[in-house]
Amino acid sequence: MTVSSIFSPGYVAHHPAVHRIGTADLRMALAKGWADFLDNPTHVIFVVMIYPIAGVVIAAATFENNLVPLLFPLASGFALVGPFAAIGLYEMSRRREQGQSTDWVQAYAPLTSRSLRPLLAVGLLLAAIFVAWITVAMAIYHALFDGAVYGSVGAFLADVLTTPRGWALILVGNLVGAAFSLLALAVSAVSVPLLVDRDMDASTAIETSIALMRRNPGTMVLWGLIVAALLVVGMATLFVGLAIVLPVLGHATWHLYRRSVGH
């Protein structure tokens, strides 16, 4: 039994063509994403305000429960499910492209359409990747630090930045995190906007996203690095910057999909 038969019965598999893309296409996607954001900034911020709020909640919960070492895995891993949470942004860009209303009330129309089940399938897969990353990150931490508890971020950072075990945590943690990020990128680079745009089963959308990654490995890795860098900038402002970074990236992802996937 396939993912499509479970979540999207009745679809006929059709694999769209994927195009060769380069850095010029990434610049174009970001420029159009910025233009979409400027077109309806108030609506967009409303749609994605859950992101900075969730960031603050994650930070507060971490400090409250004395789980400081989990802060970075949670914050970075949260981006793994971002492509699913950006459904509203893709729909707004689609509507703007077609000259339709971009009112925020209609942003989540795909979740009430035939696309709901395949979208949920991709969302569940991304959530599973997120949970796996948190589990592995904690296993790495316990293996290197033997479950040491820290009362503040400063104390934790001092240990991480000045000790051999801390350097090992940085190296191993980032390598493993990069592997999870590449997996999530391959699965979701264009699969979610593809499902927002067309009637398609989840497995075909994911296969199309992976095919795009295979055809453009260098460009897609660069895209992943750009996304990561912008997210770091957003998080560095106590998550407030995410109210701008995330909508721009969401819209840009839609335009990258339109540029890279044919019919």
What is the pLDDT, as a whole number, of residue 2?
Answer: 46
Please report whether residue 6 resides in a domain: no
The answer to whether residue 1 sits within a structural domain is: no
Distance CA 225, CA 210 (A): 17
pLDDT higher than 80, residue 59: no
Contact between 95 and 197 (Cβ < 8 Å): no
Does residue 12 form part of some domain?
Answer: no
11 assigned to some structural domain: no
State mean pLDDT over 29-38. Answer: 94
Q: Can you give the pTM of this predicted structure? A: 0.84
Name the pLDDT band for 64 (thresholds 50, 70, 90): low
End-to-end CA distance of the chain: 26
Distances (CA, A) of 64 to 34, 73, 103, 130, 151: 36, 16, 38, 22, 10
| Residue among 217, 243, 249, 253 nearest 230 (CA) | 249
Q: Is 190 part of a structural domain of the chain?
A: yes
Q: How many CB atoms lie within 10 A of CB 54?
A: 16
pLDDT band at residue 129 using 50, 70 and 90 as cut-offs: very high
Do residues 169 and 144 lie in contact, with contact meaning Cβ atoms separated by under 8 Å?
Answer: yes
Domain count, the chain: 1
In a domain, 9, yes or no: no
Q: What one-character-per-residue DSSP string does the chain give?
A: --HHHHHSTTPPP----B----HHHHHHHHHHHHHHHHHSHHHHHHHHTHHHHHHHHHHHHHHHTT-GGGHHHHHHHHGGGHHHHTHHHHHHHHHHHTT----GGGTTGGGGSTTHHHHHHHHHHHHHHHHHHHHHHHHHHHHHHTT---SSHHHHHHHHHHSHHHHHHHHHHHHHHHHHHHHHHHHHTTHHHHHHHS---HHHHHHHHHHHHHHSHHHHHHHHHHHHHHHHHHHHTTTTTHHHHHHHHHHHHHHHHHHHB--
Does residue 3 form part of some domain? Answer: no
Instruction: Quote the domain boundaries for residue 167.
Output: 19-71+84-93+100-260
Position 157 in a domain: yes
Q: What is the mean pLDDT of residues 55-70?
A: 70
The partner residues of 18 in beta bridges, in order of sequence, read 261
| Alpha-carbon dihedral sign for residues 166, 171, 174, 176 | negative
Q: What is the pLDDT of residue 49?
A: 65
- Decide if pLDDT at 187 tops 60: yes
Check residue 182 and give its pLDDT.
94
Residue 5 confidence (pLDDT): 45
